[in-house]
Amino acid sequence: MQTLSLWGKLSASPTVLVFFFAIREPKTKVQNRMSRIRLLPDIVASQVAAGEVVERPASVVKELIENSIDAGARKIEITIHRGGMSLVRVIDDGCGMDRDDALLSLERHATSKIRSAADLQAVGTLGFRGEALPSITSVSRFRLTTREPNAIAGTEIIVNGGKIDIVRDGGEAPGTQIEVRSLFYNLPARRKFLRSENTESRNIEHQIHLQAIGHPHIAFTLLRDGRLIFQLPATATLGDRIRDLYSVELLERLIQLNGAATRKIQISGFIGQAGLSRQTRAQQLIFVNGRAIESGIITAAIREGYHTALMRGQYPVTFLFLDLDPAAVDVNVHPAKREVRFRDPTAVREAVIRCIQQALESRRTEWQEKFRAPHAAPEPVGTAAKIPSAPHRELPHFQADSGDSGHRSAGFVPPLPVMPGSVAVVGDHGRVQQTIASAEAAPQQFQIIGVLNKLYVLMENADGLVLVDQHAAHERILFEDLRRRMEEQGVPAQKLLLPQTFDLPPRDADWIERNMSTLQKMGIGIESFGPNTFKIDSVPAFLNVSDATQFMRKVTDDLKGASNSSSAMRLGEEVIAKTVCRHAVKANDPLRYPEVEKLIRDLLNCDLPYCCPHGRPTMIQISLAELEKKFGRKT
Ligand code: ADP
Ligand code: MG
């Protein structure tokens, strides 16, 4: 307290200030007694704190941008040189500071954002610890210029390694400009931990992406080594910001979340539609009350929400914004404020899962449009005659061994484009244009061209060509069918001729005991038969199980890891997902036309038709525009 009241008087004179810093280093009685315990000098204490707050140049950028945002900036310009190691400069047009505040801002635990411990319960700003500036100044060459909007002059302060060297009038525009040079110049050990300039630059860019996505109404500019990396205008919506920062193409593949999830937790933003994923977590952005955070709970919930819509080893793309009562979130967990603690983590988890599931399923109708034949949309069913592609055209005969293209003489024009490789016979009596009544009120029309390589169903729609992977499609259909049956009355079981008994190690046995009822619902007739011994007398009818004991060992192995925390339902789904694959139409099973047609119709009626239970896409679209490009008709 004493320190604070002194500041007002002392700040006018820089020389006194330097002196003041010197006497603040505690030459206390404690030290005179040669005690073993000493109070650390302030600069050292700041450097210790800096270890946690300022890990790398990206943390400097993060803290400075957060300060600018808290200061109400509408425009933030960031300049970095050599991965931020030689320079980080952040200029904002926020509220600025007067001289006293500017000096005070460099003190440890000096903040304008909270006043009491009670305020910690509901922090409404990004900063609140009062640690960033002193931490940064203690490990760099630091220059601050700041000016309040109506002030005649601003203030410039230069600090080197935590020691204030210059305080004078400055003449910059209103707002605050902070320059951090030679980061960690006085901490060689820390400097050694820095990565290459490129890596550090990328980390910085990631930080700026987070802030830019979190605050679309603020304009951001990034200059890297003299090059303009991006200049984002202030926008009204998150969608616009995503478009400006990434691309329209990305935005088009996102699903907008509808806002409310529960009364207590609102979830908004965008998530990638099924099939859109990345190899890293770099585009999995999560915000809680406007703060970009990392959260194991939410990451796991996102994964769970995507469940079968995500390929193994891939990460979803999310711009997920959770808003909840500030008192229900503790942000004071980590010095870098990267993590938060939820008062009710289960509620958060469930809200996220539900929200993602609903969003993915909401895409279904839109997706079904992809199957609509090019000319089918506006006409009622009876007007097929108007459709240019003659409805009575027969499906083409393709020989399975048509790879021998030498048979085709120069004069022969195939009825339909023939792809390289073998083409399966689809059937010879199917109509090209089929009308089917799907679960939806309006009838759906789709147009099958043929089957390529006994695997890919080729279809035509208004956008161009659609390819459906018949194996993946069948997996999805079986998966949803079995899941529905499991929910309703259980999966049909097939009795074994001879019941078998088998032993398992105690842990596996325990797992089976705990999940017995789910396994039974799955059509696995299993019961205890003494300690660690089981009897199995039936297996799921849809499976081709030759050795029931072997099958059970495998199921236990596959699933015991996956199901620790999840529900019985989920366990069942895992059993199905792991096993349908073996049962589904194989890649090279030739299907006849009615079968292909049924496959497509069934797929259209699935909850998540666009991917197989392992998250691989069931369908890809090649647009006419893409074809035109490939054929050099359009550049
Ligand atoms: P915190 O942000 O946790 O309060 P900091 O050390 O980051 O702590 O900043 C200390 C104080 O300095 C802030 O509380 C704020 O009042 C002031 N400050 C920092 N940066 C700016 C800025 N760009 N514009 C206006 N005020 C700022
Ligand atoms: Mg701060």
Q: Are 238 and 257 in contact (CB under 8 A)?
A: no
Q: What class, spelled out in words, does domain 44-232 have in CATH? A: alpha beta
Ligand 1 centroid–CA 66 distance in Å is: 9
pLDDT surpasses 80 at 443: no
Predicted pLDDT at 31: 52
pLDDT surpasses 80 at 70: yes
Q: Which residues of 470-485 are buried (b: 16+ CB within 10 A; e: fewer)?
A: bbbbbbbbbbbbbbeb
* Residue with the larger pLDDT of the pair 423 and 470: 470
- Across the strands, what pairs with 469? 456
* Residue with the larger pLDDT of the pair 395 and 556: 556
Closest of 263, 265, 260, 259 to residue 238, by C-alpha? 259
Instruction: Give span(s): CATH 3.30.1540.20, the chain.
Output: 390-480+586-630
- Whether 135 is in the pocket of ligand 1, judged by its Cβ within 6 Å, is no
Tell me which of 70, 92, 99 to substitute to probe ligand 1's pocket, judged by most ligand atoms within 8 Å of the beta carbon.
70
pLDDT surpasses 50 at 99: yes
Work out the angle at residue 452's Cα, subtended by the Cα atoms of residues 448 and 457, and round it to the nearest 5 degrees.
Answer: 35
Q: For residue range 187-200, list pLDDT tens digits in order.
A: 888 888 889 999 99
pLDDT band at 341 (very low <50, low <70, confident <90, very high): very high
pLDDT band at 32 (very low <50, low <70, confident <90, very high): low
pLDDT band at 433 (very low <50, low <70, confident <90, very high): very low
Q: Are 25 and 168 in contact (CB under 8 A)?
A: no
pTM of the predicted model over 0.85: no
Taking residue 342's Cβ as centre, other Cβ atoms within 10 Å add up to 19
Predicted pLDDT at 445: 67
Q: For residue range 131-143, list pLDDT tens digits in order.
A: 899 999 999 999 9
Edge-to-edge order in the sheet of strand 444-452: 433-436, 444-452, 456-461, 464-469, 619-623
State the Cα–Cα distance between residues 87 and 543, nearest whole angstrom.
Answer: 63
Q: Which residues of 209-239 are buried (b: 16+ CB within 10 A; e: fewer)?
A: bbbbbbbbebbbbbbbeeeeeeebeebeebb
Q: Tokens 């810093």 — which residue?
A: 21
Neighbours of ion ligand 2 (CB under 5 A): 67, 127, 132
* Residue with the larger pLDDT of the pair 417 and 156: 156
Predicted pLDDT at 610: 87
Ligand 2 centroid–CA 308 distance in Å is: 41
Predicted pLDDT at 462: 85
Q: What class, spelled out in words, does domain 256-370 have in CATH? A: alpha beta
Predicted pLDDT at 591: 80
Segment (H or E) for 42 = helix 42-53
Q: For residue range 456-501, list pLDDT tens digits in order.
A: 999 998 888 999 999 899 889 888 888 888 778 777 888 988 899 9
Average pLDDT over residues 573-590: 70
- Whether 63 is in the pocket of ligand 1, judged by its Cβ within 6 Å, is yes
State the Cα–Cα distance between residues 592 and 427, nearest whole angstrom.
Answer: 5
Average pLDDT over residues 66-80: 97
Average pLDDT over residues 2-27: 43
Ligand 2 centroid–CA 324 distance in Å is: 22
Percent of the chain with pLDDT over 90: 40
Q: Which ligand is nearest to the CA of 69?
A: 1
State the Cα–Cα distance between residues 2 and 284, nearest whole angstrom.
Answer: 46
pLDDT surpasses 90 at 220: yes
pLDDT band at 355 (very low <50, low <70, confident <90, very high): very high
Helices in 275-344 by DSSP H: which ranges? 296-306
Predicted pLDDT at 382: 38
Instruction: Give span(s): CATH 3.30.565.10, the chain.
Output: 44-232
Q: What are phi and psi of 7, to 5 degrees?
A: -55, -45
**Ligand 1 atom 2 nearest Cα:** 127
State the Cα–Cα distance between residues 154 and 151, nearest whole angstrom.
Answer: 7
Ligand 1 centroid–CA 299 distance in Å is: 30
- Whether 94 is in the pocket of ligand 1, judged by its Cβ within 6 Å, is yes
CB half-sphere exposure, 442, CA atoms < 13 A: 12
Predicted pLDDT at 396: 45
Instruction: Give span(s): CATH 3.30.230.10, the chain.
Output: 256-370
pLDDT band at 582 (very low <50, low <70, confident <90, very high): low
Q: Which ligand is nearest to the CA of 133?
A: 1
Q: Give the fold, CATH level 3, of 390-480+586-630.
A: formyl-coa transferase, domain 3 (3.30.1540)
pLDDT band at 434 (very low <50, low <70, confident <90, very high): very low
Q: For residue range 222-269, list pLDDT tens digits in order.
A: 999 999 999 999 999 999 999 999 999 999 999 999 766 677 899 999
And the tokens for 567?
């529900």
**Ligand 1 atom 14 nearest Cα:** 111
Q: Which ligand is nearest to the CA of 132?
A: 1
Which CATH number does 491-567 carry? 3.30.1370.100
* Residue with the larger pLDDT of the pair 401 and 287: 287
Mean pLDDT of the chain, nearest integer: 80
